[in-house]
């Protein structure tokens, strides 16, 4: 079995966890990353809260990559020559594209940079891969936000997408670009739509990360509205399992999958679980961003049926594990 894997943007939250998992599965893993988008160089430059802690975590990510003997090539994925040269050199059997701006709020404030680091990097990678006979799968990480406001309590992959704002619109546009390369060049692909990710060594300002860090610092948790909004919280290990299954299962070919826990919880539920693990939690209600869609549960029936996907971490199991990690990392 040919097992060369190239991860574009592999030093991020998803990427480094995936790379370590695949290395343990005996894949030959290479990462291309600039370390400049929501990573070491941007954190080093910006004056952010918890800056020294986040830099420590980002250094820990790089140490884990090095200690697991994963090849890291630092460079800019916006540079077509850099991408094409390394694709030709590495000859990946699996290419996983993760390079992107990882937060909707940032995307809406800076559309140009978002396009530059999301769609431009994807176009470069797709074009470098368009005629590779050794490429078994091009895997693109999209988002549940492509659905827009959920029109049903449980959303399947067949739901019509109606994205809101720059981030979600670019994600959906990127999905269509990947599918277009399949139509024109017969590029073998899989698209994955995750939701509300959380887990160790996350620094991208996701909701669980922000809530846990605020609680541990005795700062108020900034809850949107009445807290009755539902999200399909997904632990990083479940997503990594799902990505791996799309690599090894033939039925993932030219397909789209929701890879989530498959059952949503409200923000109030999340806060109550945090309260059961951390004392003296306070809440501050904030106004809702109109460009953040109302979401809920994503069906994972398709992933279970075609891939054998079985998520293992509900919030009651995943959140205490994450809190223990924070305590051990001396946050």
pLDDT of residue 110: 79
- Are 87 and 134 in contact by the 8 Å Cβ rule? The answer is no
302-312 per-position pLDDT tens digit: 999 999 999 99
Q: Considering only CA atoms, which of 71, 182, 172 is closest in space to residue 126?
A: 182
User: What single DSSP character describes residue 251?
Assistant: G
Lowest model confidence (mean pLDDT) among 103-107, 115-119, 176-180, 307-311: 103-107
For the cut 80, the answer to whether the pLDDT of residue 39 exceeds it is no
- CATH architecture of the domain with residue range 4-195+235-260+297-312: 3-Layer(aba) Sandwich (3.40)
For the cut 70, the answer to whether the pLDDT of residue 49 exceeds it is yes
**DSSP state letters, 66-117:** HHTT-EEEE--TT-HHHHHHHHHHH--SEEEE--S---HHHHHH-HHHHHHH
pLDDT of residue 58: 92
Q: Considering only CA atoms, which of 244, 286, 302 is closest in space to residue 29?
A: 244
As a whole number of angstroms, the distance between CA 283 and CA 84 comes to 49
For the cut 80, the answer to whether the pLDDT of residue 89 exceeds it is yes
Q: Tell me the mean pLDDT in the region 193-204.
A: 95
| Helix (H/G/I), strand (E/B), else coil: 257 | strand
Q: Tell me the mean pLDDT in the region 8-29.
A: 96
For the cut 70, the answer to whether the pLDDT of residue 103 exceeds it is no
As a whole number of angstroms, the distance between CA 55 and CA 40 comes to 6
| Helix (H/G/I), strand (E/B), else coil: 298 | strand
| Tally of CA atoms within 13 A in the half-sphere of 235 that contains its CB | 18
pLDDT of residue 225: 83
As a whole number of angstroms, the distance between CA 68 and CA 23 comes to 7
Tokens for 280?
Answer: 């003296």
For the cut 70, the answer to whether the pLDDT of residue 1 exceeds it is no
pLDDT mean across residues, the chain: 93
User: What single DSSP character describes residue 155?
Assistant: E
For the ranges 32-36, 187-191, 291-295, the maximum mean pLDDT occurs at 187-191
Q: Tell me the mean pLDDT in the region 45-60.
A: 83
Residue 107: pLDDT band with limits 50, 70, 90: confident
pLDDT of residue 40: 66
Tokens for 263?
Answer: 């059952």
Domain boundaries, the chain: 4-195+235-260+297-312
Residue 82: pLDDT band with limits 50, 70, 90: very high
Using only C-alpha atoms, the chain has a radius of gyration, in whole angstroms, of: 19
């Amino acid at each position: 079995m040919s097992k060369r894997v190239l991860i574009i943007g592999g030093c991020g939250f998803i990427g480094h966890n995936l790379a370590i998992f695949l290395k343990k599965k005996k894949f030959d893993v290479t990462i291309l990353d600039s370390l400049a988008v929501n990573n070491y160089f941007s954190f080093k430059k910006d004056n952010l809260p918890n800056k020294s802690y986040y830099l420590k975590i980002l250094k820990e990510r790089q140490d884990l990559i090095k200690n697991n003997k994963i090849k890291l090539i630092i460079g800019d994925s916006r540079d077509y020559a850099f991408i094409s040269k390394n694709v030709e050199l590495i000859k990946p059997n699996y290419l996983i594209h993760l390079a992107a701006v990882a937060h909707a709020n940032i995307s809406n404030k800076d559309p140009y940079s978002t396009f530059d680091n999301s769609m431009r990097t994807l176009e470069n990678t797709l074009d470098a891969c368009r005629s590779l006979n050794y490429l078994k799968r091009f895997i693109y990480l999209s988002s549940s936000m492509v659905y827009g406001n959920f029109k049903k309590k449980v959303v399947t992959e067949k739901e019509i997408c109606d994205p809101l704002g720059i981030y979600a619109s670019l994600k959906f546009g990127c999905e269509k670009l990947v599918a277009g390369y399949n139509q024109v060049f017969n590029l073998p692909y899989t698209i994955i739509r995750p939701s509300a990710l959380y887990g160790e060594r996350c620094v991208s300002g996701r909701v669980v990360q922000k809530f846990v860090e605020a609680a541990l610092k005795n700062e108020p948790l900034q809850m949107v509205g009445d807290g009755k909004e539902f999200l399909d919280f997904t632990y990083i290990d479940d997503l990594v399992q799902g990505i791996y299954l799309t690599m090894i299962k033939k039925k993932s070919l030219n397909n789209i999958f929701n890879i989530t826990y498959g059952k949503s919880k409200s923000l109030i539920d999340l806060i109550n679980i945090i309260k059961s693990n951390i004392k003296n939690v306070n809440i501050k209600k904030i106004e809702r961003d109109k460009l953040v869609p109302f979401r809920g549960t994503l069906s994972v029936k398709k992933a279970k049926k075609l891939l054998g996907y079985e998520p293992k971490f509900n919030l009651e199991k995943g959140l205490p594990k994450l809190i223990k990690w924070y305590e051990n990392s001396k946050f």
